[in-house]
Amino acid sequence: MNLTPEELRHWDRKAHWHSFTQMSEYEPLIIERGEGCMLYDIDGNGYLDGVSSLWCNTFGHRHPKLDAAIRDQLDKVAHVTNLGCSSVPAIELTKRIVELTPGDLDHVFYACDGSSAVEVALKMAFQYWQQREDPRPKKTSYIAFHEAYHGDTLGSVSVGGVEMFHDMFRPLLFSVHRLPSPDRDHLPDGVTAGTACQYYLDQLEAVLKEHHETLAAVVIEPLVQGAAGMLVQPKGYLRGLRELTNKYDVLLIFDEIAVGMGRTGTMFACEQEEVTPDFLCLGKGLTGGYLPLSVTVATTKIWDAFLGTYGELKTFFHGHTFSGNPLLCATALATLDVFEEEKILEQLPAKIAHLEKRLAELVDHPHVASVRQCGLIVGVELIADKETGQEYPWTERRGWRACRHATQNGVWLRPLGNVVVIMPPLSITLEEIDRIVDAAKAGIDAAVAPCGE
C-alpha cells in the first residue's frame, strides 16, 4: 500500500485515534523517517527531536547498533512466550539488569509499557503482604502524590494524580492516601528552599504514622514528576522517603519509566541519593526508544514471598503475551552495549552543564515563572504575571503555542500545559542543544504575545 500524502493525512485525521489528542482539532504531522536526532516528515521537512519522541529515544534514530540487533534477532526467532518458557535474549537481559541495578534488585518481571510495569509493582506489593511468612492482610492501600502520572491502566491511574487526565475515571478507581507533590519550586507560604525537604518528609511521616498498618506501598517518580510539568524534588527527599518507609514497614515503588536510563545524569535516578527501592519500574529508553519493553525489578525479599508449591497458589498470576519478547530484549541488550561502548554517561556532565548555561538566559524572562532542570530533563513554566504570580488560563494553550512555533522552525517540542518541555536524546550535541534552546526561546516569545497576534 502506497498512500499519497493527502491520503495519509485523510486517514490520519479520520480514523487514527491519537493519544491525548482532541481529534476535532488535530492537524497531522506525519513522520516518514529519522536519522540521528532528526525526524523528517512526508513533505521532507526536518525537525530536531527535542523531546526524544516522548521521552524515550535514547541515542537518536537509526542507531546502527540497535538496527543490527533487531535484524540479527529476526534471523533467529521473533517471538517466544515467557509463560513457562524463555529465550536467550530475555535471560541475557535479565542478567544485565540485575548487574546494573542497585542493592538487591535481583529479579526481573517483563511487561511492555510503563503503565503495565507500574501495575505489576502495585499487584506484587499487595500480594506480598498477603502471603509472606507472617502475612499482613490489612496492608492493602497506597500513598501517592498529587500531579503524579504512572500510566493509564486503572491501577496506575488510581495512584496517578493529574486531574485533567484522571478525574473522569474516579468511579472506577481505588482510593489512595494522596500527598502534595514534593516540589522545590512551588513552595507553600513559610517554607523555604532550606526547609522544603523536611517539610515534605514531615507530611509523609504523619500519614505513615497514622496508616502504616494498612499501607502496602508508596509509589513515586523519583527526582522529577514528569507529566506534572517536570516538578523537581528537594535534594535529600528520596533518602528520607526510603528511611521512613523502612521505619514504618511500608514498601517503596520507584517509577523510573521516564527518569531512568540516563535521563537525570546517572543510569537510574535513585542512584543520585544512593537509595534502593523494593520495586524499580523501567521502560521507554530501555530499548533506546525503539520498541515497547518495560520491566519491574524486585528485591529478593519480594521474590521469596512468591515461592512455594503449585498448590499453595503463591504464583504471581499476571502476564502479557509479549513479556520478555526476544526482539525487544535483543534491542535492550544493544542499548546497554551502546551505553558502555560509547561511554554515554561519561559524556552527559558536559551536555548537562551546557544546557544549564543556555537555560540561564530564560530565568529572567518576564513570562517565565521557573526553569526546572534535572540532568537532560527540563521544564520551562510560563506565567502571565511574574510579579503577582498570575497564571495563564490553561485554555489559552500558551505552552502549545510556544511548541508549535518551535516546531514550525524545525525543532520538535511538546508541552505539558503551560510548561515547555525539553528532553533531548542523550546523544544530543552541544550545537543541537543550542538550536533547541534558541527555538524554545523564540517560541516562548511568540506564545506570550497577546492571544490573536
| Residues placed in the known binding site for substrate | 149, 284, 319, 414
| Residue keyed to cell 541488550 | 333
Is 331:293 a contact under the CB 8 Å cutoff? Answer: yes
Q: Which residues contact 340 (CB under 8 A, 6 or more apart)?
A: none
The cell numbers describing 149, all together, are 502520572
Nearest residue to 103 via CA among 260, 273, 247, 325: 273
Is 288:57 a contact under the CB 8 Å cutoff? Answer: yes
Q: How far is CA 295 from the centre of its chain?
A: 13
Nearest residue to 55 via CA among 220, 223, 222, 286: 286
Q: Classify 23 as helix, strand or coil.
A: coil
Q: Which residues contact 369 (CB under 8 A, 6 or more apart)?
A: 381, 382, 383, 386, 389
Strand order in the sheet with 215-220: 105-111, 294-299, 279-282, 251-255, 215-220, 141-145, 177-179
| Residue keyed to cell 509472606 | 132
Query: Which amino acid, 332?
Result: A
Annotated binding site for pyridoxal 5'-phosphate: 114-115, 255, 320-321
Nearest residue to 221 via CA among 144, 140, 113: 144
Q: Classify 56 as helix, strand or coil.
A: coil
Annotated binding site: 114-115, 149, 255, 284, 319-321, 414
Give the alpha-carbon dihedral of 390, 258, 199, 207, to 10 degrees: 110
